């Protein structure tokens, strides 16, 4: 019943927020430490490899958050399109809350940084977790396994592109319009 998040969690969440806003290289350790209210020693205790470790933890945490939204969107969905639509609306709302300026939670977080291949591998794993989660709902809604995987990939690809365009325009409409783009005008 702790009301305070642990030091580790505060670090991960502060890092997530800041990486999303300014990117990996754009965010200083001091900034993260200040935001989390944690001294440097603690960081290197919980994350021996420092910034890189922290970034991977942040990516992992974000992927789980996204999957949580997927779950919330698809659990009660009568069909695939409804699930996608709910997800897009939820994310559009999040986009508006985030001041319409941040990078897409997972997608923007990775790639940069010195340890290129480690980050790439982490991103690949995060992507696959998310796609697999969506594909599971596709199957549950009656699709064959490979069709579901394909539909989930298309969905996530479209979402990623839409978020980027939404960001340049600072308008969340693009996200809400994704289902119509992918599946035609709503009947």
Binding site for DNA (CB under 7 A): 7, 25, 27-31, 38-42, 44-46, 49-52
Q: Which residues of 89-115 are buried (b: 16+ CB within 10 A; e: fewer)?
A: bebbeebeebeeebbbbbbbbbeebee
Q: Residue 58 CB, nearest distance to DNA (Å)?
A: 13
Q: Residue 5 CB, nearest distance to a second copy (Å)?
A: 27
132 near a second copy (CB under 8 A): no
- Binds a second copy by CB under 8 A, chosen from 7, 13, 23, 35: 23
Q: What angle do CA 115, 133, 1 make, to 5 degrees?
A: 80
Q: Residue 104 CB, nearest distance to DNA (Å)?
A: 21
Contacting range for a second copy; rule: CB under 8 A; set: 1-9, 23-31, 48-56, 139-147: 23-31
Partner whose binding site includes residue 38, from DNA, a second copy, none (CB under 5 to 8 Å by kind)? DNA
The smaller minimum CB distance to DNA, of residues 27 and 86, is found at 27
Question: Rg for the chain (alpha carbons), in Å?
Answer: 18
CB atoms inside a 10 Å sphere around CB 8: 17
Please choose, from the candidates 5, 18, 7, 32, the residue with its C-alpha nearest in 3D space to the C-alpha of residue 62.
Answer: 18
- What is the C-alpha separation between 187 and 185, in angstroms, rounded? 6
The smaller minimum CB distance to a second copy, of residues 108 and 138, is found at 108
Partner whose binding site includes residue 127, from a second copy, DNA, none (CB under 5 to 8 Å by kind)? a second copy
The smaller minimum CB distance to a second copy, of residues 46 and 171, is found at 171
Partner whose binding site includes residue 179, from a second copy, DNA, none (CB under 5 to 8 Å by kind)? none
What are 45's two structure tokens? 């205790």
* Sequence-distant (≥ 6) Cβ neighbours of residue 27 within 8 angstroms: 15, 18, 19, 21
Enumerate helices (H) and strands (E) in the chain, giving the number of each: 9, 0
Q: Residue 135 CB, nearest distance to DNA (Å)?
A: 36
Q: Residue 111 CB, nearest distance to DNA (Å)?
A: 16
């Amino acid at each position: 019943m702790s009301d305070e998040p642990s030091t580790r969690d505060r670090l991960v969440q502060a890092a997530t927020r800041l990486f999303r806003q300014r990117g990996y290289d754009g965010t200083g350790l001091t900034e993260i430490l200040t935001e989390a209210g944690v001294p440097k020693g603690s960081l290197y205790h919980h994350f021996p490899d420092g910034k890189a470790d922290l970034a991977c933890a942040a990516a992992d945490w974000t992927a789980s958050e996204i999957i949580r939204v997927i779950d919330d969107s698809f659990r009660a969905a009568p069909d695939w399109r409804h699930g996608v639509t709910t997800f897009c609306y939820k994310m559009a709302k999040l986009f508006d809350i985030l001041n319409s300026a941040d990078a897409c939670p997972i997608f923007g977080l990775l790639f940069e940084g010195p340890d290129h291949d480690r980050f790439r591998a982490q991103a690949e794993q995060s992507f696959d977790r998310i796609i697999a989660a969506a594909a599971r709902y596709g199957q549950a809604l009656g699709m064959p396994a490979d069709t579901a995987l394909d539909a989930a990939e298309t969905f996530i690809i479209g979402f990623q592109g839409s978020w980027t365009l939404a960001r340049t325009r600072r308008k969340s409409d693009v996200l809400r319009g994704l289902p119509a783009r992918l599946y035609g005008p709503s009947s």
